[in-house]
A and B are shown apart, each in its own frame.
Chain A
Amino acid sequence: MSDTERKKRTDLERDRPRRDPAGAFGDAGRTAFDGLRAAGEAWREVVERSVKMGYRVVEEQIEQGRKVATSLNDQVYGSGRTRDDVGDITDRVFASFADMTSRWFDMMGSMAAGMTVPGASTGGATGRVTVSVATARAAKVTLEVEAGAGSAGIEADALAPSKGDARLAVEVRPGGGGVHLEVRVPSDAPAGTYRGTLRARGSGTGVGSLQVRLGA
């Protein structure tokens, strides 16, 4: 078949998709859609401007925060000290907080198997409260008790974790002019943080708390 005999399709009215949906509704639709598109553009500008403004505002805040942090660090740590030197400062800050409300002691005990190690104590010669934890595992004890509570007599709730049914029994007995709290840790007690309330004997008013963080 010669070229001249080949049949050809008529040229297409369009050779790409119609990107302007307004055209689908004729001229009236196009006018209405132009309005909408203009509104859309305006909203896009609103969004763009707001986001840019937001970034400007937040960057200002970050810069301001850096300046404040630098000046505070200079005041708190002084020249020649860095944030890595915070050990003693930390202790002083916590001591101040603790002094405001109650006596607060804690200590870490790495315990040999089968030993009962004194965990913490507070109070003066009279009204002294002492704690021991009987366990073969690493434990950290935090005892917090109002001054003088030991001389009035204390009752202790069993220590409980935030989740689960495990309990550590606390035995309270007189000792050293105050009270001694002995925490018994069953060998199958799950690792975790156990907390309990200390109450004044008789009234049941809360006078402190005992916490044992038990290692695996």
Chain B
Amino acid sequence: MSLPVAVVPEVLAEYGGLTHRELTRYLPDREPRRHLYEPLSDYPLRGGKRLRPSLCIATARAFGAALDDALLSAAAIELFHNALLIHDDIEDGSEERRGRPTMHRLHGVPIAINAGDTLTLMSLRPLMDNRARLGPRLSLRILEETERMARESAEGQALELGWRRDNVLDLGEDDYLRMILKKTCWLLAIHPMRVGASIAGVGERRLDDFVRFGFFLGAAFQIQDDLLNLTGEREEYGKEPWGDLWEGKRTLMLLHLHRHAGPAERRRLTTILDRPREEQTAEDIRWVRERMDLLGSIEHARHVAHGLAGAALHEYSLLFGSLPDSRDKRFVAELVRYMLERPR
């Protein structure tokens, strides 16, 4: 496959920059700085790809909205995403985020939880400010969408946390897809596009189509993200390599390995994943990783990701096909390929 054309990095840089400027207006510069507002501002200011807000703005514009109409919602999406990351990192016991130690490693769990809570609430403020620009009806509609996305994300996270706590491994791929639909796809793609489309005046009846497209796009992204964790370079990836194995994350590769391992291997895998992270050994983790290569789990996940990306392109053509050509429309199309080819 060829490299994605420049439109993806170009749009991410432009819309990401606009979102950054907008969201920094909502990061308070006041006391208590050290124990709340500085930690709370850390993740949003570390950068990141700004995929979610860019997708919101691009969808709004592709369907005919003014850029300024989508900026507050885009900022809210990015703030909410960063708030969830703080809590996710604690729940997953993650070590690194965007190339630096996670917040709870820097400030301790209590400070990080409180910062995450506060950032979640603060992400509502731009949505309330939407009222002046978009009017009360549409602003409330976006708040309702946000509540739905937050609920779906929490349900997805609960599914995975439960599987890990109870060491559930006997899961089908449909269980996995259901989990990432909620945990990843809503916040990554479905919600930003539904909000963008609503801002542009797309009727509620058509919003279900964004669930389909957003699901396939988000699922391809998540599987690729999990693959990068196992195959990517530390410098490019920005998170702890093989961190998903140390954390016992239920990825497509892990479930494939469990399904295709022999009885003895399966027992060993179950025992390894039953241990808390601090009791894992590098030797065990390396064994799991090597088994994945041997049993074709990595290759299997790659093919699934490509298949889902194909379905995403199909859904894209149904949704965006009839719109006039624009850079925003091209960005959304190219994003599908970008999801599979990105280095991080």
How many Cβ-Cβ contacts under 8 Å join chain A to chain B? 98
Q: How far is the CA of A94 from the CA of B132 in the complex (A)?
A: 12
Whether a CB of chain A sits under 8 angstroms from the CB of B128 is yes
How many of B's residues come within 8 Å of A, CB to CB?
39
* Residue from the list B132, B133, B215, B300 in contact with A54, Cβ < 8 A: B215
Return 9 A-B CB contacts under 8 Å, by A number. Answer: A54-B219, A58-B211, A58-B216, A62-B208, A86-B140, A87-B136, A93-B143, A106-B131, A193-B133
Tell me the smallest distance from the CB of B314 to a CB of chain A, in Å: 9
Chain A: residues with Cβ within 8 Å of the partner, total of 37
User: Quick check: A61 and B68 within 8 Å, CB to CB?
Assistant: no
How many Å lie between the Cα of A91 and that of B208 in the bound state?
27
Q: Nearest 9 CB-CB pairs, A to B?
A: A47-B307, A90-B136, A142-B132, A50-B304, A58-B215, A57-B177, A50-B307, A90-B140, A51-B311
Residues of B within 8 A of A89 (CB): 140
Stretch at the interface among A27-35, A168-176, A181-189, A205-213: A205-213
The answer to whether A94 touches B140 (Cβ under 8 A) is yes
Q: Mark B184-222, 1 if CB is under 8 A from A, else 0.
A: 000000000000000000000000100110011001000
B30 touches A205 (CB 8 A): yes
Cβ-defined partner of B132 (8 Å) among A61, A206, A211: A211
A213 touches B132 (CB 8 A): yes
Interface of A: prevailing SS:
helix
Can you list, as one digit per residue, whether each of A126-165 has a CB less than 8 Å from chain B (1) or not (0)?
A: 0000000000000010100000000000000000001100
Of the candidates B22, B68, B300, B307, the one having the most CB atoms from chain A within 10 angstroms of its own CB is B307
Indicate whether A53 reaches chain B with its CB closer than 8 angstroms: yes
Which residue of chain A lies nearest to B219 when distances are taken between CB atoms in the complex?
A54
Decide if B311 touches A57 in the complex (CB within 8 Å): no
- List the A side residues contacting B208 at CB < 8 Å: 62, 65-66
In the complex, chain B residues whose CB is within 8 Å of the CB of A162: 18, 21-22, 68, 71
